[in-house]
Amino acid sequence: MVKLKNSRAALANLAILITILLWGVSGSITKLALRELTPSVLATVRFFIAGILLLGISYKKYGRVEISGKTHLKFMICGLVGYSLYFLFENHGFNIMSAANGTIILATISIFTIIMEVIFLKIPTNLNKTLGVTVSIIGVIMVIGNSITIQGNQNEVIGSFLMLGAAISWSVYSIISRGFEPHIPTLTITAYQMIYGTIFLFPIALLEGPKLFIPSPLTLFSIAYLALLCSALANFLYLFSLKELGASGTNVYINLSPFVGVIAAYFILGESLSFFQYLGGTIIVLGVYLVNGKLKNVTISKSAANH
Protein backbone atom coordinates (compact mmCIF):
# COMPACT_ATOMS: atom_id res chain seq x y z
CA MET A 1 0.00 0.00 0.00
CA VAL A 2 2.80 2.42 0.95
CA LYS A 3 4.64 1.55 -2.24
CA LEU A 4 1.48 2.21 -4.28
CA LYS A 5 0.98 5.59 -2.61
CA ASN A 6 4.61 6.54 -3.27
CA SER A 7 4.21 5.50 -6.90
CA ARG A 8 1.10 7.68 -7.34
CA ALA A 9 2.87 10.61 -5.67
CA ALA A 10 5.82 10.21 -8.05
CA LEU A 11 3.43 10.12 -11.01
CA ALA A 12 1.65 13.23 -9.68
CA ASN A 13 4.95 15.11 -9.38
CA LEU A 14 5.88 14.11 -12.93
CA ALA A 15 2.41 15.11 -14.15
CA ILE A 16 2.59 18.59 -12.65
CA LEU A 17 6.10 19.11 -14.04
CA ILE A 18 4.86 18.20 -17.55
CA THR A 19 1.88 20.52 -17.00
CA ILE A 20 4.07 23.47 -16.05
CA LEU A 21 6.32 22.81 -19.04
CA LEU A 22 3.32 22.77 -21.41
CA TRP A 23 1.76 25.89 -19.88
CA GLY A 24 5.07 27.75 -19.69
CA VAL A 25 5.71 27.29 -23.41
CA SER A 26 2.13 28.25 -24.36
CA GLY A 27 2.83 32.00 -24.53
CA SER A 28 5.48 31.54 -27.21
CA ILE A 29 3.32 29.06 -29.14
CA THR A 30 0.41 31.52 -28.95
CA LYS A 31 2.56 34.22 -30.54
CA LEU A 32 3.47 31.84 -33.36
CA ALA A 33 -0.21 31.15 -34.06
CA LEU A 34 -1.08 34.86 -33.90
CA ARG A 35 1.12 35.52 -36.92
CA GLU A 36 -1.68 34.10 -39.08
CA LEU A 37 -4.76 34.04 -36.83
CA THR A 38 -6.52 36.85 -35.01
CA PRO A 39 -6.72 36.59 -31.19
CA SER A 40 -10.42 35.67 -31.04
CA VAL A 41 -10.20 33.14 -33.88
CA LEU A 42 -7.31 31.38 -32.14
CA ALA A 43 -9.19 31.26 -28.82
CA THR A 44 -12.37 29.99 -30.50
CA VAL A 45 -10.68 27.19 -32.42
CA ARG A 46 -8.57 26.20 -29.42
CA PHE A 47 -11.47 25.82 -27.00
CA PHE A 48 -13.86 24.29 -29.48
CA ILE A 49 -11.38 21.44 -30.02
CA ALA A 50 -10.42 21.13 -26.35
CA GLY A 51 -14.00 21.45 -25.05
CA ILE A 52 -15.39 18.75 -27.35
CA LEU A 53 -12.45 16.45 -26.53
CA LEU A 54 -12.78 16.91 -22.77
CA LEU A 55 -16.55 16.44 -22.92
CA GLY A 56 -16.03 13.17 -24.79
CA ILE A 57 -13.48 11.98 -22.23
CA SER A 58 -15.82 13.00 -19.42
CA TYR A 59 -18.73 11.07 -20.92
CA LYS A 60 -16.58 7.99 -21.45
CA LYS A 61 -15.24 8.12 -17.89
CA TYR A 62 -18.31 9.22 -15.92
CA GLY A 63 -21.25 8.59 -18.23
CA ARG A 64 -24.18 11.02 -18.40
CA VAL A 65 -24.03 13.49 -15.50
CA GLU A 66 -27.25 15.14 -14.30
CA ILE A 67 -26.85 18.91 -14.55
CA SER A 68 -29.58 21.40 -13.63
CA GLY A 69 -30.52 24.48 -15.63
CA LYS A 70 -29.18 26.69 -12.83
CA THR A 71 -25.82 24.94 -13.03
CA HIS A 72 -25.73 25.37 -16.81
CA LEU A 73 -26.31 29.10 -16.27
CA LYS A 74 -23.34 29.16 -13.92
CA PHE A 75 -21.30 27.27 -16.52
CA MET A 76 -22.20 30.00 -19.03
CA ILE A 77 -21.09 32.82 -16.72
CA CYS A 78 -17.87 31.00 -15.88
CA GLY A 79 -17.24 30.33 -19.57
CA LEU A 80 -17.79 33.99 -20.40
CA VAL A 81 -15.44 35.32 -17.70
CA GLY A 82 -12.85 32.55 -17.42
CA TYR A 83 -12.48 31.62 -21.07
CA SER A 84 -13.98 34.27 -23.37
CA LEU A 85 -12.84 37.42 -21.53
CA TYR A 86 -9.64 35.92 -20.16
CA PHE A 87 -8.37 34.67 -23.51
CA LEU A 88 -9.47 37.77 -25.40
CA PHE A 89 -7.33 39.81 -23.01
CA GLU A 90 -4.46 37.31 -23.08
CA ASN A 91 -4.35 36.70 -26.83
CA HIS A 92 -4.64 40.40 -27.67
CA GLY A 93 -1.87 41.04 -25.14
CA PHE A 94 0.43 38.41 -26.64
CA ASN A 95 -0.41 39.78 -30.09
CA ILE A 96 1.36 43.08 -29.39
CA MET A 97 3.87 42.34 -26.62
CA SER A 98 6.67 39.92 -25.90
CA ALA A 99 5.79 36.43 -24.68
CA ALA A 100 8.32 36.76 -21.86
CA ASN A 101 6.77 39.95 -20.45
CA GLY A 102 3.26 38.57 -20.81
CA THR A 103 4.08 35.34 -19.01
CA ILE A 104 5.67 37.24 -16.14
CA ILE A 105 2.65 39.51 -15.64
CA LEU A 106 0.24 36.57 -15.73
CA ALA A 107 2.00 35.27 -12.63
CA THR A 108 0.00 37.88 -10.70
CA ILE A 109 -3.18 35.80 -10.95
CA SER A 110 -2.68 34.36 -7.47
CA ILE A 111 -2.22 37.90 -6.17
CA PHE A 112 -5.45 39.22 -7.67
CA THR A 113 -7.26 36.10 -6.45
CA ILE A 114 -6.26 36.90 -2.88
CA ILE A 115 -7.51 40.47 -3.32
CA MET A 116 -10.84 39.18 -4.71
CA GLU A 117 -11.19 36.76 -1.80
CA VAL A 118 -10.73 39.57 0.71
CA ILE A 119 -13.15 41.94 -1.08
CA PHE A 120 -15.95 39.58 -2.12
CA LEU A 121 -15.67 36.53 0.14
CA LYS A 122 -14.45 38.42 3.22
CA ILE A 123 -11.72 35.81 3.71
CA PRO A 124 -9.28 37.23 6.28
CA THR A 125 -5.73 37.85 5.12
CA ASN A 126 -2.47 37.45 7.01
CA LEU A 127 1.01 38.93 7.01
CA ASN A 128 2.34 36.52 4.37
CA LYS A 129 -0.49 37.25 1.95
CA THR A 130 -0.36 41.02 2.51
CA LEU A 131 3.40 41.04 2.04
CA GLY A 132 3.12 38.84 -1.04
CA VAL A 133 0.53 41.12 -2.67
CA THR A 134 2.63 44.22 -1.93
CA VAL A 135 5.84 42.67 -3.23
CA SER A 136 4.18 41.44 -6.45
CA ILE A 137 2.66 44.85 -7.16
CA ILE A 138 6.14 46.35 -6.89
CA GLY A 139 7.35 43.73 -9.38
CA VAL A 140 4.56 44.56 -11.85
CA ILE A 141 5.38 48.26 -11.62
CA MET A 142 9.03 47.46 -12.38
CA VAL A 143 8.17 45.32 -15.42
CA ILE A 144 5.70 47.84 -16.89
CA GLY A 145 7.78 50.84 -15.85
CA ASN A 146 10.76 49.40 -17.70
CA SER A 147 8.72 49.35 -20.92
CA ILE A 148 7.71 52.99 -20.41
CA THR A 149 11.00 54.54 -19.30
CA ILE A 150 13.66 52.41 -20.97
CA GLN A 151 12.18 50.64 -23.97
CA GLY A 152 9.66 53.35 -24.82
CA ASN A 153 7.53 50.61 -26.35
CA GLN A 154 3.86 51.59 -26.36
CA ASN A 155 2.72 48.10 -27.42
CA GLU A 156 4.48 46.54 -24.44
CA VAL A 157 2.70 48.95 -22.10
CA ILE A 158 -0.74 48.36 -23.65
CA GLY A 159 -0.06 44.63 -23.75
CA SER A 160 0.90 44.67 -20.07
CA PHE A 161 -2.43 46.21 -19.12
CA LEU A 162 -4.25 43.67 -21.30
CA MET A 163 -2.43 40.93 -19.39
CA LEU A 164 -3.47 42.52 -16.11
CA GLY A 165 -7.03 42.44 -17.46
CA ALA A 166 -6.58 38.73 -18.12
CA ALA A 167 -5.23 38.16 -14.61
CA ILE A 168 -8.18 40.01 -13.06
CA SER A 169 -10.65 38.09 -15.27
CA TRP A 170 -9.29 34.75 -14.12
CA SER A 171 -9.29 35.93 -10.50
CA VAL A 172 -12.99 36.82 -10.79
CA TYR A 173 -13.55 33.44 -12.44
CA SER A 174 -11.82 31.66 -9.56
CA ILE A 175 -14.35 33.25 -7.18
CA ILE A 176 -17.54 32.62 -9.16
CA SER A 177 -16.55 29.08 -10.22
CA ARG A 178 -16.62 27.75 -6.66
CA GLY A 179 -19.46 25.77 -5.14
CA PHE A 180 -20.52 23.41 -7.92
CA GLU A 181 -22.46 20.33 -6.88
CA PRO A 182 -20.06 17.64 -5.62
CA HIS A 183 -21.52 14.99 -7.94
CA ILE A 184 -20.31 16.86 -11.04
CA PRO A 185 -16.73 15.80 -11.95
CA THR A 186 -14.21 18.62 -12.36
CA LEU A 187 -13.41 17.36 -15.86
CA THR A 188 -17.08 17.77 -16.83
CA ILE A 189 -17.20 21.27 -15.34
CA THR A 190 -14.10 22.31 -17.29
CA ALA A 191 -15.46 20.87 -20.56
CA TYR A 192 -18.81 22.70 -20.33
CA GLN A 193 -17.14 25.98 -19.39
CA MET A 194 -14.86 25.73 -22.41
CA ILE A 195 -17.80 25.00 -24.71
CA TYR A 196 -19.82 27.95 -23.40
CA GLY A 197 -16.72 30.13 -23.66
CA THR A 198 -16.40 29.07 -27.29
CA ILE A 199 -20.03 30.03 -27.98
CA PHE A 200 -19.43 33.56 -26.66
CA LEU A 201 -16.18 33.85 -28.62
CA PHE A 202 -17.68 32.71 -31.92
CA PRO A 203 -19.44 35.99 -32.94
CA ILE A 204 -16.28 37.99 -32.18
CA ALA A 205 -14.21 35.52 -34.21
CA LEU A 206 -16.58 35.97 -37.16
CA LEU A 207 -16.17 39.75 -36.97
CA GLU A 208 -12.38 39.60 -36.73
CA GLY A 209 -11.88 36.78 -39.22
CA PRO A 210 -8.53 35.04 -39.74
CA LYS A 211 -5.47 36.89 -40.97
CA LEU A 212 -4.96 34.07 -43.47
CA PHE A 213 -7.61 31.62 -44.68
CA ILE A 214 -5.10 28.82 -45.32
CA PRO A 215 -2.96 28.41 -42.18
CA SER A 216 0.58 27.16 -42.49
CA PRO A 217 1.76 23.85 -40.96
CA LEU A 218 3.39 25.83 -38.12
CA THR A 219 0.06 27.49 -37.28
CA LEU A 220 -1.77 24.16 -37.41
CA PHE A 221 0.86 22.71 -35.07
CA SER A 222 0.41 25.69 -32.73
CA ILE A 223 -3.38 25.20 -32.63
CA ALA A 224 -2.92 21.48 -31.93
CA TYR A 225 -0.40 22.22 -29.18
CA LEU A 226 -2.66 24.77 -27.47
CA ALA A 227 -5.87 22.76 -27.80
CA LEU A 228 -4.71 19.19 -27.29
CA LEU A 229 -1.69 19.61 -25.02
CA CYS A 230 -2.26 22.87 -23.09
CA SER A 231 -6.04 22.82 -22.68
CA ALA A 232 -6.88 19.10 -22.77
CA LEU A 233 -3.88 17.05 -21.63
CA ALA A 234 -2.47 19.65 -19.22
CA ASN A 235 -5.87 20.14 -17.57
CA PHE A 236 -6.18 16.38 -17.09
CA LEU A 237 -2.65 16.13 -15.63
CA TYR A 238 -3.22 19.16 -13.41
CA LEU A 239 -6.43 17.74 -11.95
CA PHE A 240 -4.68 14.42 -11.27
CA SER A 241 -1.79 16.20 -9.53
CA LEU A 242 -4.17 18.40 -7.55
CA LYS A 243 -5.99 15.33 -6.26
CA GLU A 244 -2.77 13.53 -5.27
CA LEU A 245 -0.60 16.42 -4.03
CA GLY A 246 -3.18 18.95 -2.84
CA ALA A 247 -3.22 22.69 -3.51
CA SER A 248 -0.01 23.47 -1.62
CA GLY A 249 1.90 20.75 -3.44
CA THR A 250 0.85 21.93 -6.90
CA ASN A 251 1.22 25.66 -6.17
CA VAL A 252 4.94 25.22 -5.50
CA TYR A 253 5.38 23.96 -9.07
CA ILE A 254 3.09 26.61 -10.58
CA ASN A 255 5.52 29.28 -9.37
CA LEU A 256 8.00 27.87 -11.93
CA SER A 257 5.74 28.71 -14.90
CA PRO A 258 7.05 32.28 -15.49
CA PHE A 259 10.64 31.05 -15.59
CA VAL A 260 9.71 28.36 -18.12
CA GLY A 261 7.90 31.03 -20.14
CA VAL A 262 10.92 33.34 -20.26
CA ILE A 263 13.26 30.49 -21.28
CA ALA A 264 10.81 29.33 -23.96
CA ALA A 265 10.48 32.86 -25.35
CA TYR A 266 14.27 33.08 -25.64
CA PHE A 267 14.71 29.80 -27.53
CA ILE A 268 11.52 29.82 -29.61
CA LEU A 269 11.13 33.53 -30.41
CA GLY A 270 14.59 34.92 -29.71
CA GLU A 271 13.23 37.29 -27.06
CA SER A 272 15.28 38.61 -24.18
CA LEU A 273 14.56 40.73 -21.11
CA SER A 274 16.40 43.62 -19.54
CA PHE A 275 17.91 43.42 -16.08
CA PHE A 276 14.98 45.30 -14.52
CA GLN A 277 12.46 43.01 -16.20
CA TYR A 278 14.25 39.96 -14.82
CA LEU A 279 14.37 41.62 -11.42
CA GLY A 280 10.69 42.62 -11.59
CA GLY A 281 9.72 39.11 -12.67
CA THR A 282 11.69 37.57 -9.81
CA ILE A 283 9.98 39.91 -7.35
CA ILE A 284 6.53 38.97 -8.74
CA VAL A 285 7.27 35.26 -8.34
CA LEU A 286 8.59 35.88 -4.82
CA GLY A 287 5.31 37.59 -3.96
CA VAL A 288 3.32 34.72 -5.46
CA TYR A 289 5.39 32.26 -3.42
CA LEU A 290 4.70 34.19 -0.22
CA VAL A 291 0.98 34.13 -0.97
CA ASN A 292 0.80 30.49 -2.02
CA GLY A 293 2.95 29.31 0.82
CA LYS A 294 0.02 29.69 3.20
CA LEU A 295 -2.83 28.71 0.90
CA LYS A 296 -4.92 25.83 2.24
CA ASN A 297 -7.92 25.93 -0.10
CA VAL A 298 -7.86 24.87 -3.72
CA THR A 299 -7.57 27.86 -6.01
CA ILE A 300 -7.60 27.35 -9.75
CA SER A 301 -4.65 29.33 -11.05
CA LYS A 302 -3.83 30.68 -14.85
CA SER A 303 -1.99 28.40 -15.18
CA ALA A 304 -4.88 25.91 -14.98
CA ALA A 305 -6.29 27.48 -18.11
CA ASN A 306 -2.93 28.95 -19.45
CA HIS A 307 -2.62 28.46 -19.08
pLDDT in tens, 9-31: 788 889 989 998 999 999 999 99
**By mean pLDDT, which of 59-68, 92-101, 283-292 is the weakest?**
283-292
Dihedral angle sign, alpha carbons of residues 288, 256, 92, 158: positive
pLDDT of residue 197: 97
Judge whether 215 and 36 are in contact, CB under 8 Å: yes
pLDDT in tens, 136-194: 778 877 777 666 555 557 888 899 899 999 999 988 998 898 888 888 998 999 999 99
Mean pLDDT of 107-133: 80
pLDDT in tens, 184-236: 998 999 999 999 999 999 999 999 877 767 889 999 999 999 999 999 999 88
Full-model pTM: 0.85
Judge whether 51 and 191 are in contact, CB under 8 Å: yes
More confident residue, 44 or 247: 44
Q: How far is CA 259 from CA 27, 55, 87, 105, 272, in A?
A: 12, 32, 21, 12, 12
Angle at 105 between CA 229 and CA 192, to 5 degrees: 40
Judge whether 13 and 245 are in contact, CB under 8 Å: yes
Q: What share of the chain is helix, strand, coil (3-state, %, to 5)?
A: 80, 0, 20
Mean pLDDT of 6-10: 79
Q: What percent of the chain has pLDDT over 70?
A: 88
